[in-house]
């Protein structure tokens, strides 16, 4: 077992000073050809690599970015991370991941753990609890300490930083328009309680599209599912809720769902009620994950280009980190959505 070798050790072995070794390895002209060769050969032999921590301390930058997300077992977020990682790797950065599990305190703890020198900047999407509590002190504090932050997807308008968001409004408009074009007259929306910005925007897009086509549904065709219903196991109650929604609105011929699970579950319920998809009911979901692709029938979805989002967020952050002039001009970048048409629509 040969431990990592340091400059000091090389210096001692070759009987030169530490600075000489350092300079020799950097091919400095201050050092004679002879010594350079000797040092470099030795360093190679012992597989010398400069210690990152020491470099970080000296340069006051870690070349590491912190990513705080609510959940990782989730197609959207894992895709975002892979985008971040891709961009980070190509620019020589590492990615440290913290999970809030939708909890405010976890989010705070995770940020505090990282904000003390471990990373150069944050990329984050806040937890539901944080949005609910509207307590953003951890964000303002980190930003005030001069640490760059990029928020994505679940962003907070009051916070002054770079942001990357999905064009949720436009995505919902597109989806709704598609259904209208396809002849739907009674389009329902399955969404969450709307303290989450994203859900609200999608609802607005849906309403806007209807309005533009002067469609005014008889009843309120919006089902607001209690958010807890999404959690892991209790799919049954979600199914029940959707089932009674369907039964209460027999005329439904189109459904927009704000996520995959809702859409898939709606299809499942439809099948149970012998409603033919896409013949008598067309369904569009949000988030283009595995479920959409492999469902039967496969699901038409609004793709959010999660990977691109991650890349863009990382790009903004790293640009900011490497910018010389310290001007803080913050950018909000909007990722356009695409409608991926599959079998659940005509």
Q: Which residues bind a copy of itself (CB under 8 A)?
A: 1-4, 47, 49-54, 56-57, 62, 64, 71-75, 78-79, 81-82, 85-86, 89, 94-99, 106, 109-110, 112-118, 141, 144-146, 235, 261, 264-265, 268, 271, 289-291, 293-296
Least separation in angstroms between CB 28 and DNA: 8
- Which CB sits closer to a copy of itself, 129 or 170? 129
Which residues of this chain interact with DNA, rule CB under 7 A?
6-8, 15-20, 22-23, 25-26, 29-35, 48-51, 53-55, 57-58, 60
- Which CB sits closer to a copy of itself, 45 or 89? 89
Longest dimension (CA), the chain: 89
- Which CB sits closer to DNA, 55 or 296? 55
* Contact yes or no for 255/283 (Cβ under 8 A): yes
- Which CB sits closer to a copy of itself, 6 or 334? 6
Least separation in angstroms between CB 208 and a copy of itself: 30
23 makes contact, choosing from a copy of itself, DNA, none, with CB < 5 to 8 Å by partner type, with DNA
Least separation in angstroms between CB 51 and a copy of itself: 4
Q: How far is CA 321 from CA 12, 37, 317, in A?
A: 37, 36, 6
Question: What tokens were used for 237?
Answer: 């109650």
Q: What is the tally of helices (H) and strands (E) in the chain?
A: 14, 12
The torsion of the CA quartet 321, 326, 330, 335, rounded to 10 degrees, works out to: -30
- Sign of the CA dihedral 7, 10, 13, 15? negative
Question: What tokens were used for 66?
Answer: 């912190």
- Which CB sits closer to DNA, 53 or 290? 53
Q: Helices 33-45 and 7-14 meet at what angle, rounded to 10? A: 120
94 makes contact, choosing from DNA, a copy of itself, none, with CB < 5 to 8 Å by partner type, with a copy of itself
Cis peptide before 314 (omega within 30 of 0): no
Least separation in angstroms between CB 153 and DNA: 33
What are the backbone dihedrals phi and psi of residue 84, each rounded to the nearest 5 degrees, phi first?
A: -60, -50
């Amino acid at each position: 077992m040969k431990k990592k070798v340091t400059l000091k050790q090389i210096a001692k072995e070759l009987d030169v000073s530490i600075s000489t070794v350092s300079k020799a390895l950097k091919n400095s002209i201050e050092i004679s050809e002879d010594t350079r060769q000797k040092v470099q050969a030795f360093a190679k032999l012992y597989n010398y690599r400069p210690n990152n921590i020491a470099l970080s301390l000296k340069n006051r930058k870690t070349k590491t970015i912190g990513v705080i997300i609510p959940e990782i077992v989730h197609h959207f977020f894992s895709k975002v991370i892979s985008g971040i990682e891709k961009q980070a790797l190509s620019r020589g950065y590492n990615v440290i991941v913290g999970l809030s599990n939708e909890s405010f305190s976890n989010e705070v703890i995770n940020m505090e753990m990282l904000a003390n020198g471990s990373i150069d900047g944050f990329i984050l999407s806040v937890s539901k609890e944080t949005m609910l509590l509207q307590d953003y002190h951890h964000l303002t504090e980190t930003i005030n300490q001069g640490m760059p932050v990029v928020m994505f997807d679940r962003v907070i308008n009051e916070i002054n930083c770079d942001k990357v968001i999905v064009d949720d409004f436009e995505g919902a408009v597109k989806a709704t328009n598609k259904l209208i074009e396809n002849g739907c007259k009674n389009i329902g929306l399955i969404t969450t309680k709307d303290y989450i910005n994203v859900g609200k925007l999608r609802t607005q897009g849906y309403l806007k599209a209807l309005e533009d086509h002067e469609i005014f549904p008889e009843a309120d065709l919006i089902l607001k599912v209690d958010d807890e219903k999404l959690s892991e196991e209790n799919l049954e109650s979600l199914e029940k809720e959707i089932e009674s929604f369907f039964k209460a609105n027999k005329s439904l011929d189109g459904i927009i769902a704000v996520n995959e699970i809702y859409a898939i579950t709606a299809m499942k319920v439809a099948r149970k009620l012998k409603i033919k998809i896409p013949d008598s009911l067309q369904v569009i979901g949000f988030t283009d994950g595995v479920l959409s692709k492999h469902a039967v029938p496969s699901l038409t979805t609004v793709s959010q280009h999660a990977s691109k989002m991650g890349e863009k967020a990382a790009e903004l952050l790293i640009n900011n980190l490497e910018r010389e002039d310290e001007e803080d001009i913050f950018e909000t970048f909007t990722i356009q959505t695409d409608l991926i048409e599959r079998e659940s629509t005509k």
